[in-house]
């Protein structure tokens, strides 16, 4: 764990200051050690499990139950995490009854949330319908959710989703959708069905458009403007909104290249601090979480992985009762560390072994990364070059949130980080050496006034 020295400036008066930030204790202090933020609600927190191949994790009755219907999809999006995952044998409506009948033996207290996952879940509507109805009557208070590409919606499915109380995320990258794949908004019938569902569910905040950021769809402000224009709703919720992870060549192709890092961070920081990305869930939740980590002195030891699938009470299963690393893999697939993603069976949750994942504390760079409290270690099962690229994306995605959070708390914008991090990560916005522009080196575009050194 590491302390970092941040060089920052005050955009109001140009004064520079040095701050100390500790990613293990979440303390933010002046150079002389005085706390810069009043601590609130410092509560004892349990340590997160440090899962790994050598120290696997069992599962328990779920609070979050993710049901994988299968990985079939009517689209083939460019950077889908599931694109090259080997498929298990398809399940079908005939598997529903046995699955539902078996629930009592392992779901011993009602889950808070049940998520229905594909592929494209509505490809499986004949299975999903009886399954969700049985789950709804068994767990009447559970929040049901589904993420769909929206192309298979129609009046009848919309009506059913509404009556069942579903929250719906529609995967769409806004202005970047042509980069991702087919666009249901270009099809008049599909567009009408999507807009009809939005009109039904938006008043209850049960629908969002879920967009991913990538090098060709880098502006969250543009994404936000797209969906405001589409819906006429200035508060349109935009789910997800993080930079893509690199699960394959497609993900690598859409990752940031070395010469693009500073431009992306400048853009993202500007959009965050000016509220142009305020509807984007990843920005609002991560900024709030980071600010609160400092206010509540959240210890890094309490941090699990970003997706939460390293919790004993978060579980992904298929309809045969196979327990999976997460909803994005299948019982037939293998993790990069050589272990099967099929990690056990619901008939014996105590014997489940999540041994496909690596907690951030066991990665080489995460414990000494200043972005740890925001990033939480990227995808827990990636390894090798795909993890390296995802880590690079995650760092550039987190650092504008880091800067915006510290400016919110102190009025000071950090622009340089010293400490045990990689040299190429120290210069946040690309002007560590250039706070005062010179004649031979013109100032880069920066959203706030560049101040005198």
If 0-12 CB within 10 Å is exposed, 13-18 middle and 19+ buried, where does residue 205 land?
A: exposed
Do 371 and 381 form a contact (C-beta atoms < 8 A)? no
Q: Quick check: 394 binds ligand SF4 (CB under 6 A)? A: yes
**Selected range binding ligand SF4 among 47-55, 72-80, 331-339, 390-398, rule: CB under 6 A:** 390-398
Q: In what order do the strands lie in the sheet with 3-9?
A: 27-30, 16-22, 3-9, 413-418
As measured in angstroms, the least distance from the Cβ of 441 to ligand SF4 is 29
Which residues inside 76-115 make contact with ligand SF4, applying CB under 6 A? 81
- The smaller minimum CB distance to ligand SF4, of residues 337 and 365, is found at 365
Q: Quick check: 2 binds ligand SF4 (CB under 6 A)? A: no
β-pair type (3-9, 16-22): antiparallel
Instruction: Compute the distance between CA of residue 311 and CA of residue 304 in angstroms, rounded to an integer.
Output: 8
Number of residues that bind ligand SF4 (CB under 6 A): 22
Q: Quick check: 8 binds ligand SF4 (CB under 6 A)? A: no
Token pair for residue 450? 């560049």
Q: Quick check: 378 binds ligand SF4 (CB under 6 A)? A: yes
Q: Quick check: 369 binds ligand SF4 (CB under 6 A)? A: yes
- The smaller minimum CB distance to ligand SF4, of residues 128 and 326, is found at 326
Q: Quick check: 328 binds ligand SF4 (CB under 6 A)? A: yes
Q: Quick check: 365 binds ligand SF4 (CB under 6 A)? A: yes
Please identify which residue in 377, 400, 405, 414 interacts with ligand SF4, judged by CB under 6 A. Answer: 377
Give 3-state DSSP helix, strand, coil % of the chain, rounded to 5: 35, 20, 45
Helix (H) or strand (E) holding 287: helix 281-295
As measured in angstroms, the least distance from the Cβ of 425 to ligand SF4 is 8
Q: Quick check: 167 binds ligand SF4 (CB under 6 A)? A: no
Please identify which residue in 132, 391, 450, 451 interacts with ligand SF4, judged by CB under 6 A. Answer: 391
Residue appearing with tokens 């101040």: 451
**Selected range binding ligand SF4 among 25-33, 89-97, 179-187, 370-378, rule: CB under 6 A:** 370-378
Closest CA to 168 of 131, 135, 199, 189: 199
Q: Quick check: 381 binds ligand SF4 (CB under 6 A)? A: yes
| Prior bond of 119 cis (ω within 30°) | yes
Instruction: Compute the distance between CA of residue 59 and CA of residue 40 in angstroms, rounded to an integer.
Output: 33
Do 367 and 360 form a contact (C-beta atoms < 8 A)? yes
Which residues inside 293-312 make contact with ligand SF4, applying CB under 6 A? 307, 309
Binding residues vs ligand SF4 (CB under 6 A): 81, 307, 309, 325-326, 328, 360, 363, 365-366, 369, 371-372, 375, 377-381, 391, 394-395
């Amino acid at each position: 764990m590491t302390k970092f020295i941040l060089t920052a400036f005050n955009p109001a008066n140009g004064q520079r200051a040095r701050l100390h930030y500790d990613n293990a204790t979440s303390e933010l202090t002046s150079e002389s050690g005085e706390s810069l933020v009043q601590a609130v609600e410092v509560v004892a927190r349990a340590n997160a499990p440090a899962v790994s191949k050598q120290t696997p994790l069992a599962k328990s009755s779920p609070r979050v139950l993710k049901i994988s219907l299968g990985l079939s999809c009517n689209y083939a999006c460019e950077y889908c995490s599931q694109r090259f995952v080997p498929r298990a044998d398809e399940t079908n409506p005939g598997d529903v009854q046995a699955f539902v009948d078996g629930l009592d033996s392992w779901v011993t207290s009602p889950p808070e949330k049940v998520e229905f996952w594909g592929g494209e879940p509505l490809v499986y509507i004949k299975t999903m319908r009886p399954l969700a109805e049985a789950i709804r009557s068994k767990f009447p208070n559970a929040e049901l959710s589904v993420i769909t590409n929206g192309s298979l919606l129609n009046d009848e499915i919309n009506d059913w989703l509404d009556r069942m109380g579903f929250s719906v995320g529609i995967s769409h990258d806004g202005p970047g959708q042509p980069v991702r794949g087919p666009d249901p908004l270009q099809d008049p019938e599909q567009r009408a069905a999507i807009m009809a569902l939005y009109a039904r569910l938006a008043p209850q905040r049960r629908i969002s458009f879920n967009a991913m950021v990538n090098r060709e769809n880098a502006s969250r402000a543009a994404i936000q403007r797209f969906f405001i224009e589409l819906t006429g709703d200035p508060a349109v919720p935009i789910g997800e909104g993080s930079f893509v992870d690199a699960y394959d060549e497609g993900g690598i192709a859409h990752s940031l290249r070395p010469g693009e890092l500073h431009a992306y961070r400048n853009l993202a920081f500007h959009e965050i601090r000016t509220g142009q990305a305020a509807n984007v869930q990843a920005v609002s939740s991560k900024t709030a979480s980071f600010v609160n980590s400092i206010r509540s002195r959240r210890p890094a030891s309490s941090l699990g992985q970003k997706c939460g699938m390293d919790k004993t009470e978060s579980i992904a299963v298929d309809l045969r009762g196979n327990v999976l690393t997460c909803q994005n893999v299948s019982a037939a697939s293998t993790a990069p560390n050589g272990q099967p993603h099929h990690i056990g069976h619901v008939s014996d949750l105590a014997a489940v072994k999540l041994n496909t994942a690596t907690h951030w504390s066991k990665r080489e760079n995460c414990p000494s990364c200043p972005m740890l409290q925001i990033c939480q270690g990227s995808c827990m099962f990636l390894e090798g070059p795909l993890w390296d690229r995802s880590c690079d994306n995650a760092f550039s995605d987190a650092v504008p949130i880091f800067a915006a959070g510290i400016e919110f708390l102190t009025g000071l914008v950090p622009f340089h980080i010293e400490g045990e991090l990689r040299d190429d990560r120290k210069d946040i916005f690309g002007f560590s050496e250039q706070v005062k522009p010179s004649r031979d080196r013109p100032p880069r575009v920066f959203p706030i006034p560049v101040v005198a050194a």
